[in-house]
């Protein structure tokens, strides 16, 4: 039967865009978040997600009557409940499912037995059955079970203007046919192609495969940087050449390291699950090790450029994990800033989209000895700064400019 009352749990980079998309298609959408301040800001028309404009937010609220709330009671009548909460890792790389289990425990108290529960939060295979279903039903006491559970891992790419809910294919797998059919209808109504797989575990595993694939390939090209410099070639020129092959090759570019909400996190969920099944996944472990070494190499290069002198002022341009986003989670800039501060340097930062950062001081035109260009820097920024001070390019985009040193091409003896 058609479902017209939708609940979205967690209004971050996944949940808020999904709420906006659903509000245009369904009669009632309830966007829930525990963060009362966030709900207050959203009700005031202030979006904290770059991919959702204030105008889009207001249209969903006023024209499509999307309800924004931190009150669980508002979810009692929803017929589809989509969980979109963070699933980070602890410092030791172990999965942190506290946001997910808290959400499930809360929802068990209020959701109707006519509801289908969909999990978009990334996790290891088995999470839907072993964590969500078991926790939900153990908290229900004598109340009836919901219709069913579906895994539908999110595929949001912040800052990507080409792909969104209406044209990004979705993968779903559920605990029974009825819940899968309802979830299929829900996602198809948003415009996306839907791939139904045989189990929730296949859907959950597919998300980990997608992002571990990226981790391994990014690590591979980053590992080749040192070798390419030793033989005197530019790794980006090599990649340009290989990319002319129209089959059997996918282009990945080296950079200052992995960052963001997926690639530095999701493969740890795969390692966690593999460990429980006595599998080592050596290649995945090595990929993390390769990427963790990049910040050390960059900092060594910085100190070489500064002739090993301490107490220098260094400006990091671009502290978000990639261009066109304000998200600094797991950004390579964090590790670089920490290492350089430990080397007794003074760190400043600049990023057009980031308003606050926990490392160094925001740049206010202080005298700088060196600039480091990272993933979210822009051509205009680097052009202006390179007129005043030497720039270390860790992106591969600015190396042809005057007064710019390439992390990918230059040797320590070429810096003078």
Asked if residue 411 has pLDDT above 50, the reply is no
* Element (DSSP H or E) covering residue 77: none
End-to-end Cα separation, the chain, in angstroms: 72
Asked if residue 410 has pLDDT above 80, the reply is no
Task: List the beta bridge partners of residue 116.
Answer: 80, 148
Q: Pick the catalytic residue from 81, 262, 299, 394.
A: 262
Choosing among 2.60.40.2470, 3.40.640.10, 3.40.50.720, 3.30.2290.10, the CATH entry for 5-198 is 3.40.50.720
DSSP state, residue 287:
H
Asked if residue 1 has pLDDT above 60, the reply is no
**Domains of the chain: which residue ranges?**
5-198, 207-285, 294-414
Choosing among 4.10.520.10, 3.40.640.10, 3.40.50.300, 3.40.50.720, the CATH entry for 294-414 is 3.40.50.720
Choosing among 3.30.750, 3.90.70, 1.10.10, 1.10.1040, the CATH entry for 207-285 is 1.10.1040
Percent of the chain scored above 90 by pLDDT?
81
Determine the Cα–Cα distance for residues 27 and 284; give it in Å rounded to an integer. 44
Q: Three-class SS of residue 144?
A: coil
| Res 2: pLDDT | 57
pTM across the whole model: 0.92
Question: Exposed/middle/buried for 412, CB within 10 Å: 0-12, 13-18, 19+?
Answer: exposed
Same fold, 5-198 and 294-414: yes
Is 262 among the catalytic positions?
yes
Segment 240-253, tens digit of pLDDT: 999 999 999 999 99
Determine the Cα–Cα distance for residues 65 and 29; give it in Å rounded to an integer. 8
User: Of 64-68, 149-153, 157-161, 255-259, where does mean pLDDT reach its minimum?
Assistant: 157-161
Is the distance from CB of 261 to CB of 13 less than 8 angstroms? yes
Arithmetic mean of pLDDT over the chain: 93
């Amino acid at each position: 039967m058609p479902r017209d009352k939708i609940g979205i749990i967690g209004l971050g980079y996944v949940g808020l865009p999904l709420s906006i998309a659903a509000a245009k298609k369904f009669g009632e959408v309830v966007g829930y978040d525990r963060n009362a301040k966030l709900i207050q800001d959203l009700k005031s028309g202030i979006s904290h997600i770059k991919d959702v404009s204030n105008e889009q937010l207001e249209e969903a609220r006023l024209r499509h009557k999307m309800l924004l709330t931190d009150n669980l009671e508002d979810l009692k009548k929803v017929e589809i409940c989509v969980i979109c909460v963070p699933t980070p890792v602890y410092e030791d790389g172990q999965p942190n499912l506290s946001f997910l289990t808290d959400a499930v425990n809360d929802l068990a108290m209020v959701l109707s037995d006519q509801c289908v529960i969909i999990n978009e939060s990334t996790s290891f295979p088995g999470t839907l059955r072993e964590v969500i279903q078991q926790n939900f039903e153990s908290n229900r006491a004598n109340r009836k079970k919901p219709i069913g559970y579906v895994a539908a891992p999110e595929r949001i790419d912040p800052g990507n203007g080409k792909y969104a809910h209406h044209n990004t294919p979705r993968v779903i797998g559920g605990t029974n046919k009825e819940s899968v059919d309802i979830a299929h209808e829900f996602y198809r109504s948003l415009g996306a192609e839907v791939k139904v797989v045989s189990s929730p575990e296949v859907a959950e595993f597919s998300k980990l495969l997608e992002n571990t694939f990226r981790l391994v390939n990014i690590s591979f090209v980053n590992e080749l940087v040192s070798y390419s410099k030793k033989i005197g070639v530019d790794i980006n020129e090599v990649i340009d050449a290989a990319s002319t092959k129209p089959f059997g090759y996918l282009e990945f570019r080296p950079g200052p390291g992995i960052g963001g909400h997926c690639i530095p996190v999701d493969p740890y969920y795969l390692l966690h699950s593999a460990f429980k099944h006595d599998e080592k996944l050596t290649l995945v472990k090595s990929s993390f090790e390769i990427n963790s070494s990049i910040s050390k190499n960059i900092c060594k290069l910085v100190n070489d450029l500064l002739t090993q002198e301490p107490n220098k002022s260094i400006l990091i341009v671009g502290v978000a994990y990639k261009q066109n986003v304000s998200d600094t989670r797991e950004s390579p800039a964090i590790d670089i800033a920490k290492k350089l501060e430990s080397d007794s340097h003074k760190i400043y930062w600049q990023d057009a989209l980031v308003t606050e950062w926990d490392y160094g001081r925001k740049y206010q035109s202080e005298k700088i000895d060196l600039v480091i260009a990272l993933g979210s820097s822009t051509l205009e920024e680097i052009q202006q700064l390179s007129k005043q001070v030497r720039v270390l390019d860790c992106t591969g985009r600015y190396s042809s400019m005057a007064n710019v040193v390439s992390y990918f091409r230059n040797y320590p003896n070429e810096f003078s």
